[in-house]
Amino acid sequence: MTDVVELLRLRGGAAGFAELRAGASERAIRKALAGGAIQRVALGVYALPPGADPLAAARAQGGVVSHLSAAVLYGFEVLELPAVAQVTVPRGQHRRESTIDCELRWADDVQALDGRTTKLRTVLDCARTLPFAAGLCVADSALRKGGIQRDQLLAAAATLLGPGSARARQVAAAADGRAESPLESVLRAVLLEAGIEGFVPQWVIQDETFSARIDLAHPTLRLALEADSFAHHGTRAALARDCRRHTQLTIRGWRLLRFSWEDVMLEPEWVVNSVRSASATTPVDRGKAAARTQQPGLRAVH
C-alpha cells in the first residue's frame, strides 16, 4: 500500500475516498486524517492541508519561488505538489533563519518575474530536476496554457549545461501542448522511456456519422490508448457512452486499450507490455489469422 499523503500528492493534492482506497487501507486513511496529515474538505473528498505561502518563503530567504512551486503559482498542472515551498537564491548566499520551511536551491542567474522564476525558466528547472514523466507534465501544461512556445523551449533547452541538461532536452523534445491531462502526459512518458514511439496526443477519428478524440493514437497501427480517471467514467451514463464509443471505434478498425490511474502510475511495466503486445499484431496480421482459422467448407456471406 502507498502512503496516503504520497497518493494525494500524486493526484495533485486532492482525491475522493474511492481513489485513496485503491492505493491505501482505510486504517491508513483514518490515521492520516486524525494526525492532520490530510484533511476532509467535503463529503468523501480529502486534500493536503494548505502549506506556507511560497512567496513569503522566498522573501524570507531573499530569493524567488522556483521549480514546482513556481509551476503551481503559474497554474501549470503538476504530477506531485511540493512538500514545502521551493526557493532559489543567488549562488553563495547562505540560508537565512526563518520560521517558514522551504527547499532551497542556488543558481548563478535567477530569471525572475513577480517574485518567481519566469515561465520558461520554471519549465526548464522542472525538466532538469524532476523525473522525465513529472517534467513532461509541467512542460505539456505550460504549452497547452500558452505560457511558453515550443520553439522557445527547444532553443532554451539546447543551451543548457550541467546536471539534468540532457533530461531537459529530452523533455523539451517530447513536450506537446495537445496533451490534456497529467495522467495522459505520464502515459506518453512511460511509452517514450520504453522506446515506444509513434503515438500522437488527442488524435481525432472522424467520418460522416462518427467523431472521437483519442488520448493517444498510433495512426499506422490503428491503435488507440486512453488514460481513464474514475471522475470521468464513474457513472452509468458514462459507461453507456464509453461502450458505444468503443464499439464504433472497433467497427472502424481501431483497437482501444484503456488504462486506469493505478495502471499508469503504479504498474507502468504492465502498461508497456500491453502496448507492445498490441503493437506486435497489425490489422493485416489479424486478417490473415482470421483467414487461417476459417473452417473448410464454409463461405463468407456478403
Write the CATH number for 237.
3.40.960.10
Domain boundary among 151, 174, 197: 174
> Are residues 118 and 170 located together in one domain of the fold?
yes
Residue 222 burial class via C-beta count within 10 angstroms: exposed 0-12, middle 13-18, buried 19 and up: middle
pLDDT of residue 230: 53
Stretches in the chain below the pLDDT threshold 50: 1, 231, 286-302
Q: Contacts by 78-81 with C-beta closer than 8 Å and gap 24+?
A: 78/12, 78/126, 78/134, 78/137, 78/138, 78/141, 78/182, 79/10, 79/12, 79/130, 79/133, 79/134, 79/137, 79/138, 79/182, 79/185, 79/186, 80/9, 80/10, 80/134, 81/9, 81/12, 81/13, 81/48
> Are residues 159 and 133 located together in one domain of the fold?
yes
Domain boundary among 117, 151, 174: 174
Task: Report pTM.
Answer: 0.77
> In a 3-state reduction of DSSP, which class is residue 102?
strand
Alpha helices (H) in the chain, listed in sequence order: 4-10, 17-21, 26-34, 54-61, 67-73, 119-129, 132-144, 150-158, 165-174, 182-193, 230-233, 236-251, 261-266, 268-279, 283-292
Q: Burial letters for 156-175: b for 16+ Cβ neighbours within 10 Å, e otherwise?
A: bbeebeeebbebbbbbbebb
pLDDT of residue 86: 96
Specify if 87 maps to a domain.
Answer: yes
Give the whole-angstrom CA distance, residue 228 versus residue 262: 10
> Are residues 133 and 186 located together in one domain of the fold?
no
> Are residues 150 and 189 located together in one domain of the fold?
no
Report the candidate in 281, 215, 210 with the shortest Cα–Cα distance to residue 252. Answer: 210
Cα four-point dihedral sign 169, 170, 173, 177: negative
> Are residues 61 and 164 located together in one domain of the fold?
yes
Specify if 297 maps to a domain.
Answer: no
Grid coordinates representing 33 are 486524517
pLDDT of residue 288: 47
Specify if 302 maps to a domain.
Answer: no
* Helices first, then strands: H and E counts in the chain: 15, 12
Specify if 126 maps to a domain.
Answer: yes
Residue 128 belongs to domain spanning: 54-174
DSSP of 109-122, one letter per residue?
A: ---EETTEE-HHHH
> Are residues 192 and 278 located together in one domain of the fold?
yes
> Are residues 142 and 187 located together in one domain of the fold?
no
Domain boundary among 174, 203, 232: 174
β-bridge partners, 113 = 116
Specify if 9 maps to a domain.
Answer: yes
> Are residues 36 and 66 located together in one domain of the fold?
no
Count the domains in the chain: 3
pLDDT of residue 1: 42
> Are residues 68 and 33 located together in one domain of the fold?
no
> Are residues 164 and 188 located together in one domain of the fold?
no
